[in-house]
Copies of this chain bind each other. A is one copy, B any other.
């Protein structure tokens, strides 16, 4: 307990130095870290080999092993990402709003760092560098708690970062690691609300449930994405085929990929045979409602009957549910019932449908005539991203640099008192 508390206190202390630090100094430090990663890549790769060896022993899945593995290219990627963050504008100090009161008081609402951010992540060791970079850029001290499978790599990366911070004249406690293979220190960390302002998880549902139960510090949650493409009555069929296919197959394993295709009954007879063929050609398994089956034929290979279970599932794979709906309201109701508030798309040529869909569908990103796959900090032009928020408090959608800041009111007067 003492150890974690000391670590948090040190982070708070470092955050006070970072709060007022000019962007030039922070950017210099980021470039120093990038250079140190490249310079010390041998050490990083050596430690990484220990994780790989342990992972093989523990028989981790090939997907996890792939995330664990570093090579020169991946290290170069991390360095490049840091230099990119360094080149972005500093959100700290941005005047978000400002006005003058009748009594002459001048109010400015100014962007400031949170203070201390804890990032809890799982297998990907490169999050270490990402989180440190985004945290430092936004003037926050960062406490890292990574997955135990990558502990050797993470420890080495933190050492490299700390060395570079010292070289750049920044407090080394600005980036600290909670080293542990069990969850007791994590539980302690999640109760340090005196020192830690925000927790950002990067992991699955199990981690989320753990934080919901154990964190007294505010958390920004990123739920999964059960995303839909709804094809409206008068949609352009070519466009609707292209968008549905792209939203499903361009990268099926990510949260902004579509999981269910909803089709207006009027367009279904023309649209469904074409889109089903395209999806089957790309090895997508389909779960179809009875009306869909009627149109495409019940015995089609690769097409099974859909259940509510399918509509509720985030497949994250080459699988998709398909349902014919009576009208846009039925599509909206389906999305309200099964959606997770991530990304939802309508393909339509009707202005009223477009207005209705964007007004009523409750999601972080609502698309008209575009693929759900664009929900991404990079694609949105934010330059960097630490995740995608599906909660409504503080930040919704891609979390860029601004979303890692809070605000403060600075009020200037010449002796005003209240009557």
Contact = CB atoms under 8 A, between A and B. Distances in A.
B397 A409 contact: yes
Copies of this chain held together in the complex: 2
Nearest to A418: B373
B19 A370 contact: no
B115 A236 contact: no
Interface stretch (A41-49, A56-64, A297-305, A354-362): A354-362
A414 interface: yes
A114 to B, nearest CB: 5
A379 B242 contact: no
B242 A370 contact: no
A58 to B, nearest CB: 32
A132 interface: no
A409 B364 contact: yes
A16 B369 contact: no
A366 B242 contact: no
Contacts of A364: 408-409
Contacts of A197: 392-393
A43 to B, nearest CB: 37
A344 to B, nearest CB: 10
Nearest to A380: B107
A360 B416 contact: no
A407 interface: yes
Given A19-B362, A197-B392, A407-B396, A105 B370 contact: yes
A243 B408 contact: no
A88 to B, nearest CB: 15
Interface in A69-109: 99, 101, 105, 107
A330 interface: no
Interface string A388-417: 000111101100000000111111111111
Contacts of A128: none
A359 B19 contact: yes
B374 A105 contact: yes
A331 to B, nearest CB: 14
B394 A250 contact: no
A373 B418 CA distance: 6
A320 to B, nearest CB: 16
Contacts of A406: 392-393, 396
A205 to B, nearest CB: 13
A367 interface: yes
A392 B16 contact: no
A418 B245 CA distance: 11
A148 interface: no
A411 B105 contact: no
B336 A16 contact: yes
Contacts of A369: 412-416
A418 B212 contact: no
B366 A411 contact: yes
A218 interface: yes
29 contacts: A16-B362, A19-B359, A107-B380, A114-B392, A115-B362, A115-B392, A198-B392, A218-B393, A239-B414, A239-B415, A242-B417, A243-B417, A246-B417, A363-B408, A365-B409, A365-B411, A367-B412, A368-B411, A368-B412, A370-B411, A371-B417, A371-B418, A373-B417, A374-B416, A379-B418, A393-B393, A393-B394, A396-B408, A396-B409
Given A105-B374, A366-B409, 5 more contacts: A101-B380, A239-B414, A363-B408, A366-B408, A393-B393
